[in-house]
Amino acid sequence: MSDHGADGALVSLHIQDLYAGYGRLEVLHGVSVGVESSRIAALVGANGAGKTTLLRAVSGLMRAGAGTVRLGDRDVTKLGAEAIAAAGLAHVPENRLVFPTLSVEDNLTLGAWTRRRERGGKAALETRRSQVLGYFPRLADRLGQVAGTLSGGEQQMLAVGRGLMARPSVLILDEPSLGLAPLVIREIFATLARLRSDEGLAILLVEQNIRAAFKIADHAYVMDRGSVLMQGEPTALLDDERVQQAYLGGGYVKVDPESQETPTG
C-alpha cells in the first residue's frame, strides 16, 4: 500500500526531554523516545511508570509541561489532539474504548474523521475500509454488529482498525494485549508486524507483556517512575539480569536514570 501519513510521506516520531503531569504532580521527568518509519519500538514498564501519560502527552490529550514531540520535521508539541491526528498520528488507547452502541462499520467510519474533507469522498472511505478489513478479516463479517457485543479480541482489532482508517504514518498503542487470550495476542501482534512492512508505519507499542512485545520490536525502552532507564535491542534487554528481575519475576530495575544505558547483550 502506498498511502502513508497525512501527506503521503513516511514520518518518524521523536519525543525529546518531555515533562508532563497532572496539576502539581509531575509524572514524566524528561523522557526521550523515538521510532522511525517501518520500525516498532516497544516501551515497557511496571504500572505507574508513566507509559500512559506519555502517550496522552504525545497525542495531545494532555499538554506537556516541557520538551518536544515531532512528527518527522514538524513540531506538534502544542497542537491539540485533532490537529495531531490530522498530522498523521493515531492513538489506540488502553481498554480499547470503541463506541459500544455503534456498529463496527460506524466505528471504522469515525476513524476516518480527519480525512472527511479530502478528495475521493465515499469511494476513498470504502477503499480504506477494505484495506483495514484485510488486516482484520474477522471484522468483515461483523460490520453491522454493535461494537459492544464483540469479544474483547475483536474490540481490540476494531480499535486498531479505527486508528488505521485515518491512514496514519505513526501508530501508538497502549497495552493492546490487556485481558486477551494468547492466541488473540499473537494474531494482533502479527498484524502490527505486517503494518510495519506493508504501510511503513512507525509504531510505538506500550506493553506489559514484555515477551510478546519484544518478539516484534526493533528497539525497546524500559521506563520506570517517569524516566527511561534503559534502552537497546530487545534480545539484549531480555538477557539483562535487571530486566529479568524486574519484569520476568523480581523487583524494580535499578540503574542510573541519567545513563539510559544500552545493554550490549
The single-letter code of the amino acid at 1 is M
What is the reported pLDDT for 61? Answer: 96
Q: What is the mean pLDDT of residues 8-12?
A: 73
pLDDT tier at 73, thresholds 50, 70, 90: very high
CB atoms within 10 A of CB 250: 12
| Burial group, residue 263, by CB count within 10 angstroms (0-12, 13-18, 19+) | buried
137's grid cell: 478479516
pLDDT tier at 244, thresholds 50, 70, 90: confident
3-state secondary structure of 181: coil
DSSP 102: S
Tell me, rounded to whole angstroms, the distance of Cα 249 from its chain centroid.
Answer: 25
Greatest CA span in the chain, whole angstroms? 54
What is the reported pLDDT for 48? Answer: 87
CB atoms within 10 A of CB 163: 20
| Beta-carbon contacts of residue 81 (< 8 Å; ≥ 6 apart) | 59, 60, 61, 91
Q: Enumerate domains of the chain plus CATH numbers.
A: 13-98+169-247 (3.40.50.300)
DSSP 208: S
How far is residue 30 from each of residues 11, 15, 62, measured CA to CA in Å?
23, 9, 16
62's grid cell: 494532555
pLDDT at residue 262 greater than cutoff 70: no
* CA gap 219, 196 in Å, rounded: 13
pLDDT at residue 4 greater than cutoff 90: no
For 70-74, 98-102, 247-251, which range has the lowest pLDDT when averaged over its residues? 247-251
Percent of the chain at pLDDT exceeding 90: 73
pLDDT at residue 87 greater than cutoff 90: yes
pLDDT at residue 250 greater than cutoff 80: no
pLDDT tier at 124, thresholds 50, 70, 90: confident
Bridge partners of 223? 228
pLDDT at residue 145 greater than cutoff 90: yes
Which tens digits make up the pLDDT trace of 169-217? 999 999 999 999 999 999 999 999 999 999 999 999 999 888 899 999 9
